[in-house]
Amino acid sequence: MSKPKRKRKNRQSEDQGLDEIPRLPKTKPLQLRYYGDPVLRKKAEPVQEITDAEMTLAEEMLMTLYATHGIGLAATQVGVLKRFLIVDIDPEDADYEPLMLFNPEILSVEGESVAEEGCLSIPDLRADVKRPEKIVVKAMNDYSEDIQIEADGLLARVIQHEIDHLNGTLFIDRISGLKRQLLRDELEKIQKADRPL
């Protein structure tokens, strides 16, 4: 998910160079897949075991997340159909460890909230999305441990947005038909845009 526009702390952190983010891995960012790419509509497969390949993917995805100033990224968005996502809702805070979730599954939901979302795979388009306010998620972390997370607010929203990606669902699927109709031209533009590979 891309960073919410209204919640940016200050302009300075916006202009922060990548070298200033302390835990940035020494790998190259991956190529993002954009709206219109059929891979974004596919269902990702469970990860059986965390091997070196998964750890490399995790590092490359983190690099990609920070390079694009995002706060969440699903493996599907870099064309890898594995059930894996990363979330870092506060990239400038080195004390906040990014979440790395393999095979995430929502166990329960509570409440309802509406907030604006954007997506790294659908640049420059934002819309209000209604989702449960609180969630309990089980997953495997990058140490192959089974974990459970209770999340609310922005964290809950980002995790749900990224789990959607693993199922081939985009946030625009969750907005009303009328609003989606209004966004149709913008979506078409995004689909046809020329992007460097």
**Candidate ranges 38-46, 55-63, 113-121, 139-147; the one touching Zn ion (CB under 5 A):** 113-121
Which residue's beta carbon is nearest to the bound Zn ion? 119
Q: How far apart are CA 140 and CA 145, in angstroms?
A: 5
In the complex with Zn ion, the residue whose CB is nearer, 50 or 62, is 62
89 binds Zn ion (CB under 5 A): no
Residues whose CB falls within 8 Å of the CB of residue 28, separated by 6 or more in sequence, listed in order: 60, 63
* Least Å from the CB of residue 119 to Zn ion: 3
Q: Contact at 8 Å (CB) between 87 and 151?
A: no
Q: Contact at 8 Å (CB) between 132 and 156?
A: yes
Sign of torsion over alpha carbons 7, 9, 15, 20 = negative
Q: How many helices (H) and strands (E) does the chain have?
A: 5, 7
40 binds Zn ion (CB under 5 A): no
In the complex with Zn ion, the residue whose CB is nearer, 50 or 70, is 70
153 sits in the region (left: phi over 0; alpha: psi -120 to 50; else beta) called left
**Candidate ranges 60-68, 92-100, 119-127, 140-148; the one touching Zn ion (CB under 5 A):** 119-127
In the complex with Zn ion, the residue whose CB is nearer, 119 or 190, is 119
* Least Å from the CB of residue 129 to Zn ion: 11
Residues noted as catalytic: 162
Q: How far apart are CA 151 and CA 85, in angstroms?
A: 15
**Candidate ranges 55-63, 116-124, 127-135, 141-149; the one touching Zn ion (CB under 5 A):** 116-124
Beta strands 134-140; 99-110: pairing state: antiparallel
119 binds Zn ion (CB under 5 A): yes
In the complex with Zn ion, the residue whose CB is nearer, 119 or 163, is 119
Residue type, 68: T
Residues near Zn ion (CB under 5 A): 119
